[in-house]
Structure 1
Amino acid sequence: MNRVAIVTGGTRGIGRAICDQLTADGFTVVANYAGNDEAARHCEETSGIKCYKWDVGDHAATMDGCARVAEEVGPIDIVVNNAGITRDGTLHKMSFDDWNDVMRINLGGCFNMSKACFPGMRERKWGRIVNIGSINGQAGQYGQVNYAAAKSGIHGFTKALAQEGARFGVTVNAIAPGYIDTDMVAAVPENVLEKIVAGIPVGRLGQAHEIARGVSFLCSEDAGFVTGSTMSINGGQHMY
């Protein structure tokens, strides 16, 4: 059976690696993105993956976007909630907009995408939702009260929705990546990054394809008995 998967934030970094992996697994994959048209064009040209533009933090836009994907590509069987942003700063300096934007996109995007796709999965008696959390949602991180709160919320969201989907053949799981070699991590000052790597037992940053392989398993038929779980892929940095 040809199943349709959508990956939010799917044109770059971890999201792009997930798209490529799920395509290799035989799924029909589409990528959602919010603003980088150049990256979306490159994704389409190099992979053939169709890219759809909308802000997952916008409820109406997400409902409309998922409906369009279902009409043009097919019913959505797999959702990977990967889209996320950072607006780092200590609470003393953090504005409400910095807080609200991260919560709206990182956590609100999970709600919006699930709200759009979960009913169809229930009806068809099969579905996979994989939410990308973070090591910093498990352990916390200085200067990231917004990001840590949103990612921690994703882990709780995952456990609650898993209980709703289980009897309908819909699994809901999360992956909590550690520090992965992406553009977001590359923006960290070199001296800070050196300290981060020094705290990772395996002695290196993770690679995007390593996260993608975890997603691949959770989306497979073999993972039908796995739901409500969080898979930590962090090089041993935080053993939760």
Structure 2
Amino acid sequence: MSADLAGRTVLITGAGSGIGQAHAVHFAALGCHVIAHDISHEALAGTLARVPEAAPFACDVCEADRFEEGVRALDAARAIDVLVNNVGIAGDGPMDAVTPDFVDLVFRVNVGGTIAATRGVIAGMKARRAGRIVNTSSNWGVFGHADSSIYAASKAAILGLTKSWALEFAPWGITVNAIAPGGIETALLETSPERLAGIPLRRHGRTDEVAKIAAFLASDAAAYMTGTVMHLNGGENLTG
């Protein structure tokens, strides 16, 4: 399905752990030139141990101008065919405990990081009249979640960006799609029998399953898909 990706250059933001690391491993296995981004070289150590051929790109997405310029320089050096916007943070609590600084940080990372990376690649993609952008939303960005309203709002914003960019970039043959994962097995996931009871498949997703969807959206098999949201949630929310 994704053999056509061999030789393409893929930039993955937030690639130091979890889903981002799975993206790096999977795209590399498909023969892609992987550029792995995270906030520091230390954060990328685990990914580079698994994908030693990946090119590291360490930069704080909250330094939006520096981050965007760094992405633009990468694209100039080696044309970026695929951008996987994966960088993100969570950590909400009840609304009356959320601080303005936390709200600002979540939107600067989750939304601002996605915007800056896309701005960094889009001129090159337009010039080449080709490109794939895969954004990471969340099941909570679609359906909402109690005590995680700020994170959910930031991920809902990603859906708006995805659909708007799909329309804006279509004349250049650039597709923009999103993945909306439910609970995925990472170090940060908290689970319980009650949580799994709400998922018809009775399990959480795996990081490699998310990576395979991203690779599909980046492949020629998905060339006629744009503005689409791929749900990966085990059937959660189908009955509630």
1:132-211 equivalence runs, <5 A? 132-185=136-189, 188=190, 193-211=192-210
Q: How much does 1:168 deviate? A: 0.8
1:34-183 equivalence runs, <5 A? 34-35=39-40, 37-48=41-52, 49-72=54-77, 74-183=78-187
Contact 1:87 1:99 in 2 (8 A): no
Matched with 2:3 is none
Matched with 1:218 is 217
SS where residue 182 of structure 1 aligns? coil
Counterpart amino acid of residue 225 in structure 1: Y
Q: Distance in 1 between matches of 2:19 and 2:39?
A: 15
Q: Distance in 2 between matches of 1:124 and 1:107?
A: 26
Q: Distance in 1 between matches of 2:43 and 2:119?
A: 27
Contact 1:78 1:128 in 2 (8 A): yes
- Of residues 76-85 and 44-53 in structure 1, the stretch that sits farther from structure 2 once superposed is 44-53
Q: Distance in 2 between matches of 1:238 and 1:118?
A: 34
Contact 2:24 2:47 in 1 (8 A): no
Q: Distance in 2 between matches of 1:216 and 1:183?
A: 23
SS where residue 76 of structure 1 aligns? coil
Counterpart amino acid of residue 63 in structure 1: E
Q: Deviations over 1:61-91 (max 9, x none)?
A: 212221342355x011211010100131111
Contact 1:81 1:129 in 2 (8 A): yes
Contact 2:13 2:37 in 1 (8 A): yes
Distance 1:123 1:68, change over 3 A: closer
Q: Deviations over 1:46-66 (max 9, x none)?
A: 312122111223221212221
Distance 1:119 1:24, change over 3 A: same
SS where residue 226 of structure 1 aligns? coil
Q: Distance in 1 between matches of 2:61 and 2:217?
A: 22
Q: Deviations over 1:116-144 (max 9, x none)?
A: 11111011011000001000001101111
Moved over 2 A (4+): 67-72
Q: How much does 1:39 deviate? A: 4.1
Q: Deviations over 1:134-192 (max 9, x none)?
A: 0000110111111000000000110000001112110000000000000121xx3x5xx
Counterpart amino acid of residue 53 in structure 1: A
Counterpart amino acid of residue 69 in structure 1: L
Q: Distance in 2 between matches of 1:45 and 1:233?
A: 28
Q: Number of aligned residue pairs: give it.
A: 233
Contact 1:15 1:82 in 2 (8 A): yes
Is 2:11 aligned against 1:12?
no
Q: Percent sequence identity over matched residues?
A: 35
Structure 2: give runs of 5+ residues left out of the alignment.
1-5
For normalisation by structure 2, the TM-score amounts to 0.92
Q: Deviations over 1:10-29 (max 9, x none)?
A: 12110111111111222211
SS where residue 184 of structure 1 aligns? coil
For normalisation by structure 1, the TM-score amounts to 0.92
Matched with 1:234 is 233
Q: Distance in 1 between matches of 2:160 and 2:219?
A: 22
Q: Deviations over 1:185-210 (max 9, x none)?
A: 1xx3x5xx332111110000110000
